[in-house]
Amino acid sequence: MSILWSSSSLKKLVNANSSKEWEASGVEIDSRKVKRGDLFCALNGENFNGHDFINSASERGATACLISENLINTKKITLAKVNNVLDTLERMAKNARMRSKAKFIAVTGSVGKTGTKDMMHLALSKVASTYSNESSYNNHLGVPLSLARVPPNLNYCVLEIGMNKKGEIRELVKLVKPEVAVLTAIEKSHLEGLKSLKNIADAKSEVLESLDKKGCFIINNDTNFSKYIKSKAKKLGIQNIITYGKGSENNIRLLSFSLSNKKYLVQALCYGKKISWLMPSLGEHWIHNSLSILGLAVYFKIDFTKILGALSSFEVPQGRGNIINLRYKDRCFLLIDDSYNSNPASLIASLKSFSKLKVIGKKFLVLGDMLELGKESKEIHKGLGTKIEKFQFNVLYTVGKNMFEMSKVLKNIKYKYHEDNLDHIAENILKNIESGDAVLLKGSNSINLKEIIKKIINDCEKL
């Protein structure tokens, strides 16, 4: 493996004082994920102190541990001491970005960031060396960490950029300095801190501020405030703006998608040229987000067939709509895990896909609260009730006080249950499940619907 960092490189960069010479092929901030050859960065947070996990990281194979505190009983552990570990990680990120000759792509949006980033990684990997951040490592820790991990001799780097408040994306893109920025959507998420869709649009459009003026901005033209954000891009002097969506005014226009042999045949018009490709049987929002990859192909002058051919084998990131085939005793059913996160737009998109899923049995729906919606949260939940009722399902379980309020709006659902004991929900589903049924779980990550999924899977056989 390539050497990313060493005692000498950190000495030169931040005057790190190492107990002995070392070389690292990776960087990690979670001691549980350390691999042999990693540099473990002992970060301090509100609820943890990374220095408490030095021994664990070393036992797992860390080649050295980056620290800022005086430690005892560490003679057998290679240490690199600095004034501030997070500051050092950010310096490493800046240095890695400066020395890399790769094309950097920043992906942001209220929904669809991770899936779009993963699709882009898969597609670009078919034509050149490509790297992207792990999972949803998109915040003030994840982005510097991802940059510090950027390998040498890279062609493309796709980084997801997230935020909880205004100003966060601005600081992160200063590190990334992207040549291409992609905006997937402006929707009702983070309302708790940002209060309005307009404020969300302003916060997300910060991705433009460090974008190369000769670079490219790819935007979902169907989303809220798209015209406003495009005007900001033009005022900033961004020379290339590519729009995608359903309307005829778009540079990249979705024409149709039809299901055949468990794959979608997608057709789009890209700058007047008709393009088609295959996608797995996923929700329409996945197909819509795949249009952004055509934008990359146009800007980077990549052969469409090479970059799009990879998408037929795309696998949904965990917790974002994975379909799991299970058997409980003699009963076979589908479990759809969309438990990673939820907001009004992603919930409706998920339910739309679920409604189109053809099953011979019942449809169970487990909905957890959508968080970070601010003072309007209760009314937003209740307001979704009439929309949710239009989708056909048989049994509803709600978790959280706001989803309970939403369930009161539903008039035509015979079987409704509210339960905050997640084990009880799992047990009740398995008690009533029959062959041919399907179960969808959707909620904000901290509602922990994944615990229901774990219990169901543990009690079943995967097919």
Contact (CB, 8 A) for 395 and 415: yes
Contact (CB, 8 A) for 438 and 354: yes
Distances (CA, A) of 40 to 24, 143, 293, 334, 420: 9, 16, 34, 40, 38
User: What is the spatial distance between Cα 216 and Cα 220, in angstroms, rounded to a whole number?
Assistant: 13
The answer on pLDDT for 318 being more than 90 is no
pTM for the model:
0.90
Q: How far is CA 373 from the centre of its chain?
A: 19
Helices (H) and strands (E) in the chain, counts: 17, 23
**Per-residue pLDDT at 277:** 97
Q: How far is CA 397 from the centre of its chain?
A: 26
Pick the closest to residue 50 from 26, 35, 66, 70 (CA basis): 66
**Per-residue pLDDT at 125:** 98
**What CATH homologous superfamily does 5-83 map to?**
MurE/MurF, N-terminal domain (3.40.1390.10)
* Residue extent(s) of CATH 3.90.190.20 domains in the chain: 322-462
pLDDT band at 262 (very low <50, low <70, confident <90, very high): confident
- Token readout for 16 is 């790190």
* Residue extent(s) of CATH 3.40.1390.10 domains in the chain: 5-83
**Is the domain defined by 322-462 classed in CATH 3.40.50.300?**
no
Residues 6+ apart with CB under 8 A from 72: none
* pLDDT tens digits, one per residue of 408-417: 999 888 899 9
Contact (CB, 8 A) for 77 and 56: no
**Per-residue pLDDT at 190:** 74
Residues 6+ apart with CB under 8 A from 462: 324, 325, 326, 327
The answer on pLDDT for 440 being more than 80 is yes
> How does 45-79 read in b/e, with b if 16+ C-beta sit within 10 Å?
eeeeebbebbbebbebebbbbbbbeeeeebeebbb
Mean pLDDT for the stretch of residues 346-355? 93
Per DSSP (E only), the strands in 4-155 are: 5-6, 17-18, 23-24, 26-28, 38-41, 64-67, 79-81, 103-108, 130-132
**Per-residue pLDDT at 73:** 74
**Per-residue pLDDT at 259:** 84
- Token readout for 167 is 């100003």
String of DSSP letters for 356-412: H---SS-EEEEEEPPPS-GGGHHHHHHHTHHHHHTS--SEEEEESHHHHHHHHH--S
The answer on pLDDT for 328 being more than 90 is yes
Residues paired with residue 327 on neighbouring β-strands, in sequence order: 332, 461
Q: Which amino acid is at 308?
A: L
* Residue extent(s) of CATH 3.40.1190.10 domains in the chain: 100-313
In eight-state DSSP terms, residue 392 is -
**Per-residue pLDDT at 316:** 87
**Per-residue pLDDT at 273:** 97
The answer on pLDDT for 149 being more than 80 is yes
User: What is the spatial distance between Cα 451 and Cα 302, in angstroms, rounded to a whole number?
Assistant: 42
User: What is the spatial distance between Cα 417 and Cα 71, in angstroms, rounded to a whole number?
Assistant: 53
- Token readout for 31 is 């001691």
User: What is the spatial distance between Cα 363 and Cα 333, in angstroms, rounded to a whole number?
Assistant: 10
Mean pLDDT for the stretch of residues 29-39? 97
* pLDDT tens digits, one per residue of 166-196: 999 999 999 999 999 999 999 988 777 788 9
**Per-residue pLDDT at 293:** 98
CATH of domain 100-313: 3.40.1190.10
Mean pLDDT for the stretch of residues 395-415? 93
